[in-house]
A and B are shown apart, each in its own frame.
Chain A
Amino acid sequence: MEEKTYNNHTMKDFKSNQEVRWCPGCGNHAVLNAVQKALAQMNIPRENYVFVSGIGCSSRFPYYINTYGFHGIHGRAAAIATGVKTANPKLSVWNITGDGDALAIGGNHFIHAIRRNVDINIILFNNEIYGLTKGQYSPTSVRGLVTKTSPFGTVEEPFSVGDLVIGAKGKFFARTIDTMVTLSTDIYVEAERHRGTSVVEVLQNCVIFNEGVHDDVAGRDVRADHTIVLKHGKPMIFGKENDKGLILDGLKIRVVRLGEDNITEKDLLVHDATEPNPGIHYMLSNMKYPDYPVALGVIRSVEGRTYDAGVEEQIADIQKKSRIKCMDDLLMSGSTWKIK
C-alpha cells in the first residue's frame, strides 16, 4: 500500500477519541488546545509526532492528542524521549511533564537531556503543587506554602525552572501562561523549530489544590503590568499603556517609566534571544513580581550541536571508514584460527 502522509492538518486531526479527564477549569485544557493548534500549523506529518510523558495530571496529555504517545513512569519521560529521538531523529518528540515530575523525581533526566541538547521539546506545566496525589508541596512551591505535607509551611527554597535550564547549559527557554493560547501556540512552534532541547515553562493553574497560584501575574486585569512578553530584536516594553520598560543599570535590570528622567525607547534593553552568553537571559528568567514583571515569550534560543545529530553523524562517519560492514565481517575480524 502506498504510504500517505497528511501534512495539511487541522486541529481536529490532533484530537483523540479519549474523554479528557482533567478537572473543569484546569489550566491543562488550554495548554492542550494551544499544542493542537501549534501542531496543525507545522508542516510535519502527524505520524512523526511522538508525545512522551511521566506521571502527574499533565502527564495524561498523550491520551488526549491523536499522535504516537507513550505514557511513562514518574520522572522518566526525558529519558524515554531521549531514547525515542536518538533512535529515530526524524521524529518530532515532545515531553510533557510537571514541576514534580521534571524537577523532583525526574531532576536528573531533566538536566541531562538539556546538557546533551537532545532535540526534544519539553513542556513543563508548573502549578507549584502535586495535584494527582491531592495537594502536597512541589520543588517550585514558594517557601512557607501550607499543604498537606507541610501543615506548618515549607522550610525550603523553590527551584526556578530557568535557573536549572541555564545551569544545565540549556539553549532554549521560554515561558508562557496556560490561558494565553496565542502566545503559547507561537512559543510551541518556536520550540519545535529550534534544534536542541527546548524547555517551555507554562504557568499553569490548578483549580483544586493551588487555585490562583499565578494570579498576581496571570490575572487578566494585572497581566499587562505584571508580565513582559519578550520578542527577539524588540525593545523590552510592557504595561497596559506600553509605558514601562527595562534597562540595564550597572549589573542589574531596572524597571523604568518611559518619559521619566528623559528615558526613551532607545534607552531600553533590546531582547537578543540568540546571545550565547546566558547572563541577561538568566536575569530575565529570574525576574519576579512585585519587583519586576515576569518574563514571558522566548527568553533564550541559541543554536548548538544536538545530541541525536551528533550520534547519527558519528555513525555515518565510522561506517564510511570501517572495514567491518556486516556481522560476518566482525565475526571473522582479529585473531582467528582454523581447525580441520
Chain B
Amino acid sequence: MTRNSKVIKREDVVIRFSGDSGDGMQLTGTLFSDTVALSGNDMATFPDYPAEIRAPQGTVGGVSGFQVHLGHSEIQTPGDYADVLVAMNPAAIKANVCWVKPGGTIIYDKDNFTEKNITKAGYLKDPVAEEKLETYNIIPAPISSMVREALKNFGLDAKSVLRTKNMFALGMVYWLFDRKLKYTERYFDQKFSDRPEISEANKVALRKGFYYAETIQALNPVIRIEPAAIEPGTYRNICGNTATAWGFLAAAEKAGLKLFIGSYPITPATGILEELALRKDLGVISIQAEDEISGICSALGASFAGRLAVTSTSGPGMALKSEAIGLAVMAELPVVIVDVQRGGPSTGLPTKTEQADLMQALYGRHGESPLVVIAAGSPGDCFHFAFEAARIALEHMTPVILLSDSLLANGSEPWKIPSMSELPEIKPPYADKKKIPFLPYERDDKTSVRYWAIPGTPLLEHRIGGLEKTIKGTVSYIPENHEDMVKKRDAKIAEVANSIPGIEVIGKYTGDLLITGWGSSGPYLRAAANELQAEGYEVSFAQFNYINPLPKNVSKVFSRFKKIAVGELNLGQFADFLKIKHPGFSYNSINKVKGMPFTIKEIKESCIKILEGK
C-alpha cells in the first residue's frame, strides 16, 4: 500500500491497546508486536489484564490492556507513558487516560460511547469533557458501525462481525506507524485456514481501518520508527514462559536427558506447562498433576529415575510444594522449581506482577535447607536462566528455584536465537558403575556434590529419602552426623558461587550511586540509570540474576560506590538479604507494590533523592 502523507521519524514510541476483556486486546497487542518485531524494531511488551475471564462488560474492572514500546534503538522496558491509546469503550479511557503522554493520541470507538457504557465506566455524561481530552489528539472513530457496514455481505452473525472491531483499530494503528499489513494477514490465513470467511472478514476489517485512518489523516505527519541497529543474527519474538520452557528443552538436549515436567495449572505459570506439553516431538514427558504437591513429587520421582525434572508454579503453589522442596534438599536430587511470581499473599493479584516471593524462595522451608535461587531479568533472558537453573541442578545435585514473574511470563521481546552449538555441555555427576558398593552420600571432595546412580543400573541399588543419613545411606540420628551433613549440604550450595559469573557494572566503574536490583526490575532500573547518566549523574547499574549463592565480586563492586540503591517490587526483601550477606554497606531501597512494574520516572526521582541525601 502506498502512502501519500507526510512522515516524520521518531526514536521510539509507546502504544497501548485497551478494551473489554472480550474485545481481543491481548491478540491485537500480540499481532502488533509481531509486526513490529518482524519489521526490525526493538521492542518490549506489557500485557495487563484482569483475573476474570470475562469481567462485567463495560466496567473499569474488566479492562484489558496491552502496551508495546518500539524503537529505533535498544528498548529495555515496555515504557512508562503511551503516545497512542486505543480505547474500545469508555471504561478503557477511564482506566488508561492517566497513562497517556500530554498531547498524545487517543483513538476510541465512538459507537461504544452509549449512555449505558458511559455510566458503567463511572462518567456522568461526556467522558471527553470530564477527562478534558481536548488537549489530546482525539480520534473518535465509528468502529462498530464501520465494520458492520464493511462486512454486511459476509453472511456472518452480528456477534462475529463485531468481533473484528479490534482489527479495524489495529489497521488504523498500522497506518499511524507506517506498517505493513502482511504479517497480520498471514496470521489469519494460517489461523483460520479451515474457515476462510472468518479470515477474510478480519482482513477486510484490518484494511478498512488502515484506509479509514488515511482518509481522515488520523495523524499528520505519521510516525516512522526506523529499524533498530540490532546485533546481527536470526531473531524471533518470544515471551518469558515460552523462553523458560525452551531453556529447559535446551538443557535436556545438552545433558542428553529426557525432560520431565510435573505441574498443576496456575496463573501466570501455566504457559510453561502448556508449551512443554506441546513438545512431545522432543520427547518431553509432561504430567498435569492432581495438585501442586503431586507436581513436584512426580518431578522428584522422575529425577530419582534419571530425568531432567522440572515443575512450574506461582506463589500459592510454592507454599504447597515447600515440604517436597525440603525432601529434594535432603535427598540431594536435581530438580528445578519455577516460581512465576504474582501479587500476593494468598490469591492476591493473580494476573499482576510482583517480586515478593524472594524470601519464600530463599528460606521458605523448615530445617537448614539451602538451595540455589536464580532470577531471569527479561522475557528472552528466561531461556538462559532456565538453562542455567537446569545446569546447576544437574551438575550440583540440588533443587534450584528459578524466579520469573507475571511481567516476564507474558511480556515479549525480540530475541536473538542461539545455536545449540554455542551452549555448554551439561555433565551430571553420574556414579561410577565399577565402584561398588555405591555410597549414596559420598561426595566430590571439591564441590561436595554427591553422585547420581540411576535405577536400572546393576549393583548400584541404594535407598535415599527424607530421614537424615550417613554417607552409606543408613538412617542416623547421631548428633555429630546430622551437624556434619547439615554443613556439607550448606557447603555444596556455597560452592556453586565458583561456577557463576560476577555482577557486571553498566556505566562507570565507580561513582556516587550504584543502582542494583534483580529479576524483571532490572531493565527498568537500567533504563533509569542510563537516563541519569545522560543527565550528568555519576550513576551506574548492576543486575543480579544469581541470588543464592550471590556472585563472588559483590563486595568488591559495592565498595567502589558512595551509595547503593536496591530497586524491587516488594517492601525490600533483596535489600534485607544483602544486609545479611554483605552487612558492611548501607542500602537505599526503592520499592513498589502496586502489581505493576516501575516507571522510569519514579526510579529516577527516587535516585535523585538518594543522591541528594534526602
Contacts and interface: CB of A to CB of B under 8 A. Distances in A.
B287 A86 contact: yes
Interface string B434-465: 10000000000000000000011111111111
B157 interface: no
Interface stretch (B3-11, B32-40, B489-497, B548-556): B32-40
Interface stretch (B370-378, B414-422, B538-546): B414-422
A110 to B, nearest CB: 10
A315 B294 contact: no
A330 interface: yes
A88 B463 contact: no
Interface in A70-91: 70-73, 76, 79-88, 90-91
Given A71-B464, A87-B260, A331-B417, A324 B281 contact: yes
B232 A83 contact: no
B109 to A, nearest CB: 29
Range for the number of chain B residues in contact with chain A: 35 or more
B301 A319 contact: no
A67 B438 CA distance: 12
A111 B419 CA distance: 44
A52 B282 CA distance: 28
B426 interface: no
A68 B461 contact: yes
Given A69-B465, A88-B455, A80 B298 contact: yes
Interface stretch (A154-162, A282-290, A332-340): A332-340
Contacts of A112: 289-290, 294
Interface in B266-303: 279-285, 287, 289-291, 293-294, 297-303
A91 B304 CA distance: 12
Contacts of B287: 82-83, 86, 311
B305 interface: yes
Interface string B447-491: 000000001111111111111000000110000000000000000
A63 interface: yes
Contacts of B303: 83
B249 interface: yes
A179 B456 CA distance: 31
Interface stretch (A2-10, A204-212, A298-306): A2-10
Contacts, number: 213
A71 B301 contact: no
A297 interface: no
A74 to B, nearest CB: 8
B329 to A, nearest CB: 12
A119 to B, nearest CB: 14
A221 interface: no
Given A83-B309, A87-B306, A76 B465 contact: no
A329 to B, nearest CB: 9
B246 A83 contact: no
B200 interface: no
A90 B456 contact: yes
Nearest to B453: A68
Given A46-B461, A80-B300, A319-B280, A73 B466 contact: yes
B305 A338 contact: no
B594 to A, nearest CB: 34
B328 to A, nearest CB: 10
A220 interface: no
Contact of B298 (A69, A82, A339): A82
A46 B262 CA distance: 27
A4 B458 contact: yes
Range for the number of chain A residues in contact with chain B: 35 or more
B323 interface: yes
A86 B307 CA distance: 11
Contacts of A321: 281
A328 interface: yes
B250 interface: yes
A68 B466 contact: no
B389 to A, nearest CB: 17
B587 interface: no
Q: Report which residue of B233, B298, B302, B458 has the largest number of chain A beta carbons within 10 angstroms of its beta carbon.
A: B298
Contacts of A71: 463-467
A315 B285 contact: yes
Interface in B207-240: 230-237
A83 B38 CA distance: 41
Given A83-B299, A324-B281, A326-B282, A109 B249 contact: no
B305 A84 contact: yes
A96 B128 CA distance: 70
B253 A327 contact: yes
B324 interface: yes
Contact of B262 (A67, A83, A318): A83
B152 interface: no
B433 interface: yes
Given A50-B305, A318-B281, A76 B463 contact: no
Interface string A51-63: 0110100000011
A16 B475 CA distance: 13
A335 B463 contact: no
B94 interface: no
A182 to B, nearest CB: 27
A63 B475 contact: yes
A12 B84 CA distance: 78
A242 interface: no
A264 interface: no
A76 B320 CA distance: 12
Contacts of B233: 338-339
A47 B457 contact: yes
Contacts of B37: 337
A83 B465 contact: no
Given A72-B465, A109-B294, A327-B282, A339 B232 contact: yes
Contacts of B465: 53, 62, 69-72
B455 A73 contact: no
B309 A73 contact: no
A43 interface: no
A322 interface: yes
B324 A73 contact: yes
A48 interface: yes
A322 B281 contact: yes
Contact of A108 (B291, B298, B467): B291
14 contacts: A47-B459, A47-B461, A50-B304, A67-B461, A73-B297, A83-B287, A83-B297, A83-B299, A83-B302, A87-B307, A108-B294, A318-B281, A330-B246, A339-B235
Interface of B: 34, 37-38, 40, 183, 230-237, 246, 249-250, 253, 258, 260, 262, 279-285, 287, 289-291, 293-294, 297-307, 309, 323-324, 326-327, 331, 417-420, 433-434, 455-467, 474-475
Interface of A: 1, 3-6, 16, 18, 45-48, 50, 52-53, 55, 62-63, 66-73, 76, 79-88, 90-91, 108-109, 112, 311, 314-315, 318-319, 321-322, 324-328, 330-332, 334-340
Q: Which 9 A-B pairs have the closest CB atoms?
A: A83-B301, A71-B465, A322-B281, A83-B298, A79-B297, A87-B302, A69-B463, A318-B280, A79-B294
